[in-house]
Amino acid sequence: MRGLTAVAILMLGLICGSSVTAADSSGSAPNPLDAIPPQMPFNTPYGAPISLQRAQALLQAAIDEANRRGWRLNIAVVDSGANLVAFARMDGAMLGSIVIAEHKARTAAKFRRPTRVFEEAIQKQNYHYILTLDDMVASRGGIPLIEEGKLIGAIGCSGGTGSQDEAVCNAAASTINK
Domains and CATH numbers, the chain: 1-29 (no CATH), 52-173 (3.30.450.150)
Q: Say which range, 24-28, 63-67, 133-137, 146-150, has the weakest mean pLDDT.
A: 24-28
Segment 129-144 shows an average pLDDT of 93
The overall average pLDDT reported for the chain is 87
pLDDT of residue 41: 85
Segment 106-131 shows an average pLDDT of 93
Please name the residues in contact with 28: beta carbons below 8 A apart, sequence gap of 6 or more: none
pLDDT of residue 30: 80
Q: Is residue 108 within a helix (H) or strand (E), and if so which, with residue range?
A: helix 97-111
Q: For residue 156, what are the β-bridge partners?
A: 76, 142
Helices vs. strands in the chain: H and E counts, helices first: 6, 4
Q: Look at residue 151 and tell me whether its pLDDT is greater than 50.
A: yes
Spell out the long-range contacts of 27-32 with Cβ–Cβ below 8 A and sequence spacing 24 or more: 32/125
Segment 29-57 shows an average pLDDT of 90
pTM: 0.80
Confidence class of residue 54 from pLDDT cuts 50, 70 and 90? very high
- Sign of the Cα torsion 90, 161, 112, 169 reads negative
